[in-house]
Amino acid sequence: MSDEVVLSVRDLEVSFGTKRGRAEVVRGIDYDLRRGETLAIVGESGSGKSVSTLALTKLIPIPPGRVTGTAHLGGELELIAMTEQELSRVRGQRIGFVFQDPMTSLNPVHTIGRQLTEGMRHHLGLSERDARDRAVDLLEKVGIPSPEQRLDDFPHQFSGGMRQRVVIAIGLSCDPEVLVADEATTALDVTTQAQITDLVAELQEELGMAVIWITHDLGVVAGIADRVLVMYAGEVVEAASAEALFARPRHPYTIGLQASLPVLGDVERHDLAAIPGLPPAPTALPQGCGFYPRCSYRDDERCATERPPLTQVAEGHWVRSFYEVPAEEAARAAAANRIVIEPPDARDEGVA
């Protein structure tokens, strides 16, 4: 990882006009993404992970959506104020996307060769011949056997894991500075998940791009992220290096997320430790801390009425809570929940 910041986001806010009033779904997030860095954005479904990245290039409907704040790409371009036409040169070209379900990202009636070469011809101005050559290279890079023959195949002729590799190849095709992988392995089985995360890590090393890895599954980020943003109800509630976050989580929500991870040899634990309750509706956010209604550490006065600021508690470690989980308690949660997902063969043999 270098010190060069490729994407700098400040005070990003996204809301939607709805029948029940404005839904505030992203409530002011900040981060710097460096060349070669993997930033993980983690949180439950609905916490604003996808919208916070889709909004950068206006991949959300505006209106009813509204986006404020700034996002500087490569130190120069400010994305939020850009026109649609300017953004069309950023999307896919400078920021690549890989989404969860390869069947919806791929068009079933076109060959993957056509889908791979389209962006390169449009954005990079390559001839059909050159785009095809580059498509073969890309498919090879993402581990698709006999790439030359596969170019003329349709999406349904690939397995789920292979389709996701094709989608990654498309995401990489214009050599983006930033690749956003949004639940990119969620639909895949555990073994294929591991292959895809390894693949992205390898490609990142080789190509030097920065990756934003979005997932609801804290377990997935353990081996791949440099930094982690934990989101809850549209806010970052904890931000730290992956190392610090796993060694010493501090926000009660992060502790709860860790506690809901499956533990090797202790399958029961998964359900027992899950956080009770649901996140607040974005049209009816609590007046105080967003996590207050579900927090087991809350104090009923301050937490209910005041919104805690994001505060630096150690070098590079930020927490949005009035209550800091004591070190021993956090250590116990971290130790009890080693981030180990049972290997599939152990599961088959009934070892776990």
Ligand X SMILES: Nc1ncnc2c1ncn2[C@@H]1O[C@H](COP(=O)(O)OP(=O)(O)O)[C@@H](O)[C@H]1O
Euclidean distance between CA atoms 306 and 324, whole angstroms? 16
* For ligand X, the closer CB: 50 or 258: 50
CB-wise, 60 or 194, nearer to ligand X? 60
- Smallest separation (angstroms) from ligand X to the CB of 19: 10
- Give least dist CB 52 to ligand X, A: 6
Using the minimum distance from each CB to Mg ion, give the nearer residue, 38 or 337: 38
Q: Which is nearer to ligand X, 67 or 126 (CB)?
A: 67
50 sits near Mg ion (criterion: CB under 5 A): yes
| Residue 145, binding choice from Mg ion, ligand X, none, Cβ under 5 to 8 Å by partner class | none
Residue number with CB closer to ligand X (27 or 248)? 27
Q: Nearer Cβ to Mg ion, position 43 or 119?
A: 43
256 contact choice in Mg ion, ligand X, none (CB below 5 to 8 Å, kind-dependent):
none
Kindly list the residues in this chain that would bind ligand X in the complex (CB under 6 A).
16, 18, 23, 25, 43, 45-51, 60-61, 64, 282
Nearer to ligand X, 54 or 210 (CB): 54
Shortest Å distance, C-beta 328 to ligand X = 31
Residue among 174, 9, 173, 32 nearest 79 (CA): 9
Residues paired with residue 214 on neighbouring β-strands, in sequence order: 41, 182
16 contact, one of Mg ion, ligand X, none, CB 5-8 Å limit per kind: ligand X
DSSP code of residue 342: P
Minimum CB distance to Mg ion, residue 54 (Å) = 9
Q: Rounded to an integer, what distance in angstroms lies between the CA atom of residue 161 and that of residue 165?
A: 6
SS3 content of the chain, % helix, strand, coil (to 5): 35, 25, 40
Closest CA to 112 of 175, 169, 192: 169
Say if residues 190 and 87 touch (Cβ distance below 8 Å).
no
Amino acid identity at 299: D
The option from ligand X, Mg ion, none interacting with 165 (CB < 5 to 8 A, set by class) reads none
Here the tokens at position 8 are 């700098």
Shortest Å distance, C-beta 79 to ligand X = 17
- DSSP-derived 3-state class of residue 96: strand
Interface with Mg ion: number of residues (CB under 5 A): 1
Indicate which of ligand X, Mg ion, none lies near residue 63 (CB less than 5 to 8 Å, by partner kind).
none
User: Position 58: which residue type?
Assistant: K
Count CB atoms within 10 A of the CB of residue 303: 21
Which of Mg ion, ligand X, none does residue 48 bind (CB under 5 to 8 Å by kind)? ligand X
Nearer to Mg ion, 278 or 340 (CB): 278
Query: Pick from Mg ion, ligand X, none: which does 51 bind, CB < 5 to 8 A by kind?
Result: ligand X
Q: Which residues contact 27 (CB under 8 A, 6 or more apart)?
A: 13, 48, 233, 234, 235, 285
Bridge partners (DSSP) of residue 168 are none
Q: Is position 15 an interface residue for Mg ion (rule: CB under 5 A)? A: no
25 binds, among Mg ion, ligand X, none (CB under 5 to 8 A by kind): ligand X
Q: Is the peptide bond before 64 cis (omega within 30 degrees of 0)?
A: yes
Are the C-beta atoms of residues 138 and 169 closer than 8 Å to each other? yes
Terminal CA-CA length for the chain: 37
Least distance in angstroms from the C-beta of 41 to ligand X:
8
Nearest distance, CB of residue 168 and ligand X, angstroms: 19
Close Cβ partners of 333 (under 8 Å, ≥ 6 residues apart): 249, 255, 258, 259, 325
Positions that interact with Mg ion (CB under 5 A): 50
